[in-house]
Amino acid sequence: MIKKYENYTESNIVGIDEIPITWQQIKLKYILSLKSGDAITSNELSDEYDFPVYGGNGIMGFTNRYIYENDKIIVGRVGAYCGNIHLAKGKIWVSDNALLIETEENLEYLTYLLKSLQLNKLANKNAQPLITGSMVKDQIIPFPASKTEQTKIAQYLDHQTNLIDQLIKQKEKQIELLKEYRQAVINEAVTKGLDPNAKMKDSGIEWLGEVPEGWEIRKLKHLVSLNSNEDDAQYLAFKVALENIESGTGKFVESNLESQFEGVGNYFKKGDVLFNKLRPYLAKVYLAQQDGYSVGELLVFSPKEEIISGFLFYRLLSSSFIEVVNGSTYGAKMPRASWSFIGNLSVVVPSKDEQSQIIDYIQKYNTKINKLISDIDIQIQKLKEYRQSIISEAVTGKIDVREWQIPDNVHEV
């Protein structure tokens, strides 16, 4: 059973009221040495090499040589990765966008301690956030001088966080399964319809297979108009770039003004469907809710009389359509699909009444699935918060784990 220390003393550290009386209040510079990593070019990186190169976001590639061969703590120092903490083991290279920490203290314990400090808050507020070595070294921390105690805390946290991480992975797997199910529902509805007893016929097209007997087989280019009317999008309010479209759902994701594209864009109208031709496996499809402009990588389809916008949207978002388009791409680094290929793909189209029924059916299922995913996301966030609170309690001395032993029931958290 976890308990508190017997005696505490007042703390002079911001955010910590008291620490165990046997602990120190000390600046990090007195227990570690810290320096910047070394620059490395992209030409020196290859997955075929043996030695990992660590940057602010962990392993950024591999190289054929190394600088360090003892375990080190890596701290991100530039940009979005400021304050990220990684424990690197073995022979490694550390890039110049990270700081390197060496210490005689328990590395695992110090890793947990540094994560609890949330060093990203130290970064300056410039356009390119930066953490310096001095900022880190001047941080005052609560510190158990006994390495035995440090080791015990690290062991406790290893065990507890591992259990929480397992729970998080299970819930993330549940979300992936729900997303797969959502795709299966969409694909089945737009290719087979809603009647499980409907008579089927051979489409004569390998990737379509059997289709409902009453559905019409049409090439996409006969169902939509490709809108390629480029214009200056600089001064228009509503713009859609690739990052604004959520993969697999078509949900619009807001972005800040700085990240919006400028220059020439394709005009689209409300009801048009935008399809991403760059890396189509990302499944970025968007049903326009208002007029606007889109980045050139998005093909703009205006549906003709025979097809409803919502049905076209789900048809293009379906896994079978995405897979066949993705199989047609050209270009190794930036794979793209062409309109000439996409436009000549055959799709099956039911009556407009049945299209409307299919749209309603999918939307109802999506509402249920999205609610389940949202609930699980909340559970994951709470687990992550709980994980952080456990780390904070242990490394600040709020709990005493010196006598802790791994429980017989390893499922306990």
The pLDDT of 307-317, averaged and rounded, is 97
Range 184-213 burial, b when 16+ CB lie within 10 A, else e: ebbbbbbbbbeeeeeeeeebeeeebeebbe
Residue 334's CATH number: 3.90.220.20
- Check whether residue 133 and residue 222 sit in a common domain: no
- Output the pTM of the full model: 0.81
In tens, the pLDDT along 86-135 reads 999 999 999 998 999 989 999 999 999 999 988 888 887 777 788 888 89
Q: Which of 292, 318, 349 is the last residue of a domain?
A: 349
Nearest-Å Rg of the Cα atoms of the chain is 28
* SS3 state of residue 131: coil
The pLDDT of 43-49, averaged and rounded, is 88
Domain that holds residue 299: 216-349
Q: Which of 98, 120, 143 is the last residue of a domain?
A: 143
How many structural domains are present in the chain? Answer: 2
387 located within any domain = no
Q: Is the pLDDT of residue 236 over 80?
A: no
In tens, the pLDDT along 145-184 reads 899 999 999 999 999 999 999 999 999 999 999 999 999 9
Q: Which of 91, 119, 143 is the last residue of a domain?
A: 143
Helices and strands in the chain, H and E counts: 7, 23
Backbone φ and ψ of 323, nearest 5°:
-65, -45
402 located within any domain = no
Q: Is the pLDDT of residue 409 over 70?
A: no
